[in-house]
Structures are given as C-alpha cells and as structure tokens.
Amino acid sequence: MTVLCHETAAWKALERHYREEMAEFDIVQGFADDPGRLAALSQQAPHVFADLSKNRITPRTGELLTALAQECGLVESRDRMFAGAPINTSEGRAAMHWLLRMPRDGGLLRDRPMEAPVRTALDAVHDTLDAMLALAEQVRSRPEITDIVNIGIGGSHLGPEVVVNALEDWRSPDKRFHFVSNVDGHELGHVLSRVRPESTLFLVASKSFTTAETMLNAHSARTWFLANGGTLEGDCAIADHFIALTTNVAAAAAFGIRRTLGFWDWVGGRYSLWSAIGLPIAIAVGATHFRALLAGAHAMDAHFVTAPLARNLPVRLGLLDIWYRNFHGFGSRCIAPYSHGLRRLTAYLQQLEMESNGKQVDAQGRPVAVATSAVVWGEPGTNGQHAFFQMLHQGPDVIPVEFIAMRDGGKYLGAHQHSLLINAVAQAQALMVGRRQESSEKYCPGNRPSNFLLLQQLDPASLGALIALYEHRVFVTGAIWGINSFDQWGVELGKNLARDLAERQERGDWQDVDASTAGLMRRLIAADLP
C-alpha cells in the first residue's frame, strides 16, 4: 500500500506553512526580503532555463515540498518507471516512453543497471527507429510526394502536430503537412480538396487501430483515393500511398495497408510522438534532426533520474503544481507560449496533463481525498494579451501562468523577436507587481504567480527536452497523488455511449434512455425539424 499524500507529516507541515506564512505572502515583498531569491528559485536544466521566482513560494516551501515528495515515495515511483515495472496497473503495462529516446548504449544513463527485458526492448526500439528514419529519408527524397496527411487523434495527432509546427524552420520546404483528427468531415474534406492522390502520402496513425474517428477518416480517405485515380494494385497504388503507424499490425493489414511501422503497448498514446507515431516529424525534419529531438528528451530524462530532488526541474514544477492545486486551491493553469511555433502546445498539454491526472481514484482504487489535475488552457502570446489576459490581471480568480519563450527567434530575429520577448517579460512583471496605487477600475492586485521557461531557441533538441520536462512533471504530480497516470478509462464511457446511441438509432429504440438524450436524438434524426 502506498502512502496517501494528505496523510503524510509533510502535507500537514505544508498546510501549516500555508496557513501561518504563505496565505498572505506577497511576491514583491519576497524579493525585498531576500536578495538571493532569484538564484534560489531559478535553475538551468538541459536546454531549459526556469525562473520560478515569481511564485508564492519561499525556499522553505521548496524544502517542505521536497519532503512531501520523499514521503510519497517519488524516487521509488520514478525508479520503478525507469526500471520498466508495470506501473500502468489497470492495463498491466510498463510506461517506457523514455526508452524510445535512450541511445542504444544507454547514453547518459548507461551506468544504471538494466533488466534483460528492457535491454531487449531497447534493441527493438532502435531497430524500429532505424527503419522509420530510413523510410522517412526515402519519402523525403521523393519530390513527387508533396503532401503528407496524418490521420489520427489524441496522442496519435497532437504530439506530431506540435512538433511539425514548432520545427518549421527545420522542415523540408518541398512538402506540406496536414493533420486530420476530427470526425467532422469538413476537416478531411478541406484537406482532400487541396491534394492529389499521386502526390499524397497518408499516414494512418492509431495505437489501437480501432479509434472510431480515425477509422472513419481513414476509410473515407481510401475511398477518395480510389475514386480519384488511385488503384488497389498498379500505378498510384494504395501500398505506395498509405502507411500505418500502430501497435495493431494485424488490423492495419486487414484495412489493406501493407506498410506498417509498429510500436509497443508500453508506449502510452499521449507519450508516443517519439515512436513510429513520430514518422510525420521525421519526414518533416529528417533523421538527423529527429535524433536531436530524441537526444534533447533523453538529456531531460537523465536530469530527472539523476538530479537531486531540490534541483530537479520536473520535480520542482510538479511540486509547484501540487502547491497551487492543493494548498492554494487554484483550479487552472494558463499556458502562454510566446512562440507561434508552439501554438498547438496547449492542446497537447491538455491531453498530457488532463488525460493522465484527471482522476479521482488512486492506482489502488482508493478515492484520492484531494483535488487532482488542474484545468490547463491558454493561447500563444502576444495574442492572449488582447483576449483573456485582462481576467488574469484583474479577475477575482488567481490563475498561475506559464510563460515559454526563446532567446533566439531563428529566422525572425530583430524587431519581431525583440518585441515578443519584451512583451512576455512585461506580462510576467505586470502580473506580479500589479497597479496597486490606483483605485477602482485601474487597480490590479498583482501577486499573480508565473513560471518563466526560457529556451535558447526552438530547435529539435530544446523542443525534445521541453516536452520530456512536461511528461515528467505530469508523472511527478500523479505520483504524489498516487494516481496511475497512464490509463484513461473515463474516455471509454463516451465511446461506449456513442456506439450505443448509434445502435439505438438504427433500431429506433429509446427505451430506458433519459428524456434529454432521447429528445435530442429524435430531433437529430427527425426529417422535419420544428
């Protein structure tokens, strides 16, 4: 039996610390009181510098949170994940996404012992990776292929989409990338209206190869392909224009796709961009840059495994999330990437965090007595400043903000990058200092916390490190709450009910269905809407 976080001595000490020292803590005053505040509350991790000093914490808060991590067995949980133990208990699986970015010789973690099955899995990872990168290079060398259409949803969509967008400066200019996820036919239809079968490669990405949206989109794409000059065999054959990325190789073959890149059930969907699901990324940026993405993530893995808890960035960020969620009661966190390249990061993080930790029972089936995943939301800056930032500055709710910025703007150095960075820093400052001397309408309370994550530039290695940082941070909060962060049974309910409603509609049977649902269904299928 693992310990319940709220029953630990550290939790009680944190409650007292909050009540007696921190409930009224003012960040600006914190800087005045402690000249060493910035140094104590900021750190460099691989590829990512983090300034955590604009938070409602003191070094004492950090000590107590670290004690909480120790009492909750975070180190043991982390080491179990990195040993390949079946920590996804409800599905009896390991969670070894970290293995996907480990070099064949163990890289920065080569001195740690590795069990034989994990060693075998690492060899399989590299065999598949080599095959995937060879395939990617082959596709990149075919100028007649101008459009890559990724059909997938959730983890089979969001990670590749974030990375392909983010690495625009590193992408091959002669290919366009399209991501189709929604079962709303407008999305697929819009893409199909702009491509031709002979110059398009479809990637059907689905870990399970059963997800309803992806299957319907893939079937429709296939039908369109055959109706517009594509063939079953011969010129412009399906075999040359469809590739499956899945753990369910048999289902892909049954669909009629001959070329499949596989991966393993120990890769969670939302942790899968490093696997065969990353093929669109590899086609976009090529083998060398894909390997750099993996190397950046591996550097963060090694940091997570080896750095002391008090200087371990995923641990510090995860514990900060616990501090705000459970002791301050803040219900959401705003993500503000000051980067057009990271415009889809928030959507990706919503799945990563909320699908992983949006749960109310722990891994042993016991109710978690405290609040779990916050709502994660946001938009890139500076756009958000002209939309919802008003509420962040003056609304009654305190919402911690996470700024993400790059020192070097790549292609767009100069005035644009300068303005972008100045705006990010100014917003963080404004949230903290407020405008307290003013009365009434202009009053801004300040003391609004924020993290500032800074990358040198948005290159493959930095991006890999940033994403791995978020993965491990989610692991940290899940481990403190005792949650299994690697299943998602809540999603199944909606899937089952959609199936049930489709069957009922066929039969016209609305017995034992609540009046609202039955009423809506009748309205949807009625020929003559009132």
For the annotated catalytic residues, the residue numbers are 355, 386, 495
Residue with Cβ nearer ligand F6P (208 or 457): 208
Identify the CA nearest to 322 among candidates 1, 529, 3, 18: 18
DSSP string, 465-528: HHHHHHHHHHHHHHHHHT--TT--HHHHHHHHHHHHHHHHHHHT--TTS-HHHHHHHHHHH-SS
What order of strands is seen across the sheet that includes strand 401-408?
Answer: 42-45, 48-51, 450-457, 401-408, 332-337, 375-378
CB 14 within 8 A of CB 67: no
Cα pseudo-dihedral 270, 275, 276, 277, rounded to 10 = 20
- Cα–Cα distance between 281 and 162 in angstroms, integer? 9
Residue with Cβ nearer ligand F6P (138 or 182): 182
Residue 528: CA count within 13 A, CB half-sphere: 0
- Minimum distance of ligand F6P from residue 192's CB (angstroms): 20
Burial level of 186, CB count in 10 A (0-12/13-18/19+)? exposed
- Cα–Cα distance between 395 and 389 in angstroms, integer? 9
The token pair at 397 is 């709710």
- Minimum distance of ligand F6P from residue 144's CB (angstroms): 29
Residue with Cβ nearer ligand F6P (114 or 273): 273
Identify the CA nearest to 320 among candidates 450, 428, 463: 450
DSSP string, 129-145: HHHHHHHHHHHHT-TT-
Identify the CA nearest to 242 among candidates 217, 263, 273, 265: 217
First to last CA, the chain: 58
- Minimum distance of ligand F6P from residue 130's CB (angstroms): 23
The single-letter DSSP state of residue 225 is H
> Residues near 288 by Cβ (< 8 Å), separated by ≥ 6?
none
CB 453 within 8 A of CB 42: no
Residue with Cβ nearer ligand F6P (271 or 389): 271
Give the interface with ligand F6P as residue ranges (CB under 6 A).
Answer: 153-156, 206-208, 211, 214, 269-270, 355, 488, 491
- Minimum distance of ligand F6P from residue 522's CB (angstroms): 28
- Cα–Cα distance between 257 and 268 in angstroms, integer? 23
Residue with Cβ nearer ligand F6P (129 or 273): 273
Residue with Cβ nearer ligand F6P (123 or 184): 184
Rg (CA), the chain: 24
Residue with Cβ nearer ligand F6P (11 or 202): 202
Residue with Cβ nearer ligand F6P (155 or 384): 155
DSSP string, 372-407: ---EEEE--TTGGGGTTHHHHHHSSS---EEEEEEE
- Minimum distance of ligand F6P from residue 138's CB (angstroms): 24
- Minimum distance of ligand F6P from residue 272's CB (angstroms): 7
Strands 242-246, 200-205: pairing is parallel
Burial level of 460, CB count in 10 A (0-12/13-18/19+)? buried
Residue with Cβ nearer ligand F6P (170 or 271): 271
State the sign of the Cα–Cα–Cα–Cα dihedral 290, 294, 300, 302.
Answer: negative
